[in-house]
Structure 1
Amino acid sequence: MSRILTDRQAIRQWVEARGGNPVLMDVPDGSKSRTILQLAFGQEPLNAGNDADQDRVGGFQLVSWEEWLTALETGNLALMVSDDPSGGNEAEYNFVERH
């Protein structure tokens, strides 16, 4: 069963309950760039070390919840999540247009 989350606190609670972190990536788009929203799961060890690139996950940058949620709202997006109890703690989600 799926549900659509638009409330900032509900989104953050759902992601954090599954060990997720907010990430953004700016990618070239013609003469401009566009920001890609993503969620990274199981990345908590990144912040434990002193590596220069500890804020990077495969090109994505770990960001604050405020920055990520603002980008989500600016893009008029919501988070559609699966709450299927048979799926355990798996993080099944999609970005959908906010209504």
Structure 2
Amino acid sequence: MEAFMTETVMLTDHQAIRDWAEARIGSPAIIDAQASIGATQPVLRLLFDQHAYQDQDQGADRPSAPRLVDWDEWFQMFEEHELALVVAQDVDGRRENFHEIIRR
């Protein structure tokens, strides 16, 4: 098996982030601080494919489940906490969901 290193790109532009997520059927979500063990502030997430809908359906049973939000709410928090989205660089024939939300 051949190992390869995926290059990453840091995104801060709102439209670029939204385009990246939507190309992978991603939705913005937030986990409330009081619901997340050890969290002192809400946590931003991107949910992909059917996972976004599964988490919403089970939210009442799982208080720490991500809550889908609109992009405006997500980006407001993104800017307040000076965050960036690190993603795998697109490669021809492959579209990866790898991402990490970090401080700028």
Class of the TM-score when normalised by the shorter of the 2 chains: 0.7 to 0.9
Equivalent position to 1:5, from 4, 8, 11? 11
Q: Give the corresponding residue for 1:85.
A: 91
Alpha-carbon offset, residue 15 of structure 1: 0.5
Structure 1-normalised TM-score? 0.76
Query: Are 1:38 and 2:51 counterparts?
Result: no
**Aligned-residue CA RMSD (Å):** 2.9
Structure 2-normalised TM-score? 0.73
Question: Unaligned 5+ residue runs, structure 2?
Answer: 1-6
Taking the aligned partners of 2:84 and 2:17, their CA distance within structure 1 comes to 9
SS in 2 for 1:34: coil
Taking the aligned partners of 1:63 and 1:78, their CA distance within structure 2 comes to 18
Taking the aligned partners of 2:85 and 2:99, their CA distance within structure 1 comes to 7
Q: Give the corresponding residue for 2:31.
A: 25
Percent identity, aligned pairs only? 36
Higher strand share: 1
- Bigger mean CA offset, 3-12 vs 81-90: 81-90
